[in-house]
Chain A
Amino acid sequence: MTGSRKSLVLALAALAVLAILPFVIGNYWLRVLTSVFMVGVVAQGLNVIVGFAGYHAFGNSAFFGVGAYVVAVTLNAGWPLPLAFVAAGLASAVVAGVFGWPLLRLRGHYFAIASVALNMAFIEVILNLGGVTGGAQGLPLPISPMAPDLLYRIIYFLMLGALVAATAVVWVLSQSRLGYALRALKDSESGAEVMGVDTVRAKITAWAISAAMTGTVGGIWAYWITFIEVSSAFDIGISMRAYIMMLLGGIGTVFGPVAGAFLFQIVATMIWAEFTHIHNLLLGVFLVAVVMLVPNGVLPLLSRAGWRAASARLGGASTRLSHRLFAREER
Chain B
Amino acid sequence: MTALLGLEGVEAAYGESQVLWDIDFAAETGRITALVGSNGAGKTSLMRVISGLLKPTAGRVIFDGADIAKVPAEARVGRGIALVPEGRRLFAGLSVLENLMLGAFSRRERGAEADLARVWQHFPELEGIAGQLAGTLSGGQQQMCAIGRAMMARPRLLLVDEMSLGLAPVIVDRLAATLRDLNRADGTTIVLVEQDVDLALEIADRGYVLDTGRVVMNGAAETLRDDPRVREAYMGMAN
What is A's interface to B at a CB cutoff of 8 Å? Answer: 177, 180-181, 183-184, 186-188, 190-199, 311-312, 315-316, 318-319, 322-323, 325-327, 329-330
Contact = CB atoms under 8 A, between A and B. Distances in A.
A188 B62 CA distance: 27
A22 to B, nearest CB: 40
B95 A318 contact: yes
Interface stretch (B1-9, B105-113, B173-181, B225-233): B105-113
A147 B103 CA distance: 58
Interface string B39-79: 00000000000011100000000000000000011100110
B94 A187 contact: yes
Given A194-B52, A196-B77, A315-B94, A327 B113 contact: yes
A162 B72 CA distance: 38
Interface in B79-127: 82-83, 85, 89-95, 97-98, 101-113
Q: Would you call the interface of chain A mostly helix, strand, loop, or mixed?
A: helix
A330 B113 contact: yes
A191 to B, nearest CB: 5
A119 to B, nearest CB: 29
B105 A197 contact: yes
A327 B111 CA distance: 9
Given A184-B102, A196-B107, A318-B94, 6 more contacts: A188-B89, A188-B91, A191-B90, A199-B74, A316-B131, A323-B113
Given A180-B98, A199-B74, A194 B53 contact: yes
11 contacts: A180-B102, A180-B105, A184-B102, A190-B73, A195-B149, A196-B78, A196-B107, A197-B105, A198-B74, A325-B101, A330-B111
Given A188-B89, A326-B104, A197 B98 contact: no
Contact of B130 (A190, A191, A196, A319): A319
Contacts of B137: none
B77 A183 contact: no
B200 interface: no
A196 B153 contact: yes
A187 B131 contact: no
B235 interface: no
Given A186-B93, A187-B93, A193-B72, A318 B98 contact: yes
Contacts of A199: 74
A315 B74 contact: no
A224 to B, nearest CB: 38
B61 to A, nearest CB: 15
B13 interface: no
A235 B102 CA distance: 39
A176 B84 CA distance: 25
A192 B105 CA distance: 10
Contacts of A198: 72, 74
A311 B95 CA distance: 9
Contacts of A312: 131, 133
Nearest to A326: B112
